[in-house]
Structure 1
Amino acid sequence: MSLRILHIIGDSNPAMGGAIEGVLRLGDAYRALGHSQHLLTLDDPSDPWVAACPSPIAAMGRPGPRKRFYPVRAIRWLRRHAREFDGVVVDGLWNGSTLAARRVLPGSGIAYCVFPHGMLDPWFRQSQPRKEWVKRRLFRVNEGPLLRGAEAVLFTTGRECELAAQSWPGWHGMAEKVIGFGTGEPPPETGEMHSAFRAAVPDMKTRPYLLFLSRIHPKKGCEILLEGFAAQRDLRDRQLVMAGPGDTDYVASLQALADRLGIGDRVVWPGMLAGDAKWGALYGADAMVLTSYQENFGVVVAEALACRTPVIISDQVNICTEVQQADAGIVCRPETTSVAEALGGFAAMSERERSDMTLRGRALFARAFSMRETAARLIDLFADSAEMEKQLSYS
Structure 2
Amino acid sequence: MKILHLLATLDPRAGGPTEGVRQSGINMTALGHEVEVATVDDPSAAWLAAFPLPVHALGPAKGFYGFTPKLVPWLEAHATSFDAVIVNGLWQYPGYATWKALRRLNVPYYVFPHGMLDPWFKRTYPLKHVKKWLYWPWAEYRVLRDATRVLFTTQEECRLARESFSLYHANEAVVAFGTNRPPSDAASLREAFYNAHPALRDQRLILFLGRIHPKKGCDLLLQAFAAARELEPAARLVMAGPDGDTWVPTLKALADELGIASRITWTGMLQGDEKWGAFYASDAFVLPSHQENFGIAVAEALACGLPALISDKVNIWREVQADGAGFVAPDSVAGTLANLTRWMQLDAIQAAAMRTQALHCFEQHFTVDAMSADLLRILQQDRHKPRNEEGTLALGRS
Using structure 1 for the length normalisation, give the TM-score.
0.94
Deviation of the 1:369 alpha carbon: 0.8
Partner of 2:217: 221
Partner of 1:209: 205
Residue of structure 2 aligned with 1:8, choices 6, 9, 15:
6
Partner of 1:352: 349
Partner of 1:193: 189
Amino acid of the residue matched to residue 38 of structure 2? L
- Pairing 1:160–2:157 present: yes
Deviation of the 1:189 alpha carbon: 2.6
Distance 1:204 1:128 in 2: 38
Distance 2:303 2:109 in 1: 31
Amino acid of the residue matched to residue 226 of structure 1? L
Deviation string 1:340-360 (CA, Å, 9 cap, x unpaired) is: 121011001111111111222
- Residues 202 and 115 of structure 1, relative CA distance in 2, 3 Å threshold: same
Identity of aligned residues (%): 41
Partner of 1:57: 55
Amino acid of the residue matched to residue 232 of structure 2? L
Partner of 2:380: 383
Report matched runs for 1:263-342 at 5 Å: 263-342=260-339
Distance 2:195 2:42 in 1: 32
Using structure 2 for the length normalisation, give the TM-score.
0.93
- Contiguous gaps of at least 5 residues in structure 2: 390-398
Distance 1:353 1:32 in 2: 38
Contact 1:10 1:97 in 2 (8 A): yes
Deviation of the 1:68 alpha carbon: 5.0
Structure 1 window deviating more from structure 2 (130-139 vs 257-266): it is: 130-139
Contact 1:44 1:67 in 2 (8 A): no
Deviation of the 1:206 alpha carbon: 2.7
Distance 2:201 2:185 in 1: 19
Q: Number of residue pairs matched? A: 387
Partner of 2:177: 181
Structure 1 runs of 4+ with >6 Å offset: none
Contact 1:28 1:184 in 2 (8 A): no
Report matched runs for 1:39-188 at 5 Å: 39-62=37-60, 66=63, 69-172=66-169, 174-188=170-184
Deviation of the 1:163 alpha carbon: 0.5
Deviation string 1:216-244 (CA, Å, 9 cap, x unpaired) is: 00110001100100101213211000000
- Residues 68 and 52 of structure 1, relative CA distance in 2, 3 Å threshold: farther
Cα RMSD for the two superposed structures: 1.7
Distance 1:238 1:125 in 2: 36
Partner of 2:256: 259
Distance 2:364 2:352 in 1: 19
Deviation of the 1:275 alpha carbon: 0.1
Classify the secondary structure of the residue corresponding to 1:34.
coil
Deviation of the 1:389 alpha carbon: 6.2
Distance 1:89 1:214 in 2: 25
- Residues 241 and 148 of structure 1, relative CA distance in 2, 3 Å threshold: same
Distance 1:84 1:249 in 2: 42
Distance 1:294 1:67 in 2: 21
Deviation string 1:297-327 (CA, Å, 9 cap, x unpaired) is: 1111111111101110001001111111111
Contact 1:220 1:294 in 2 (8 A): yes
Partner of 2:241: 244
Amino acid of the residue matched to residue 199 of structure 2? D
Deviation of the 1:247 alpha carbon: 4.6
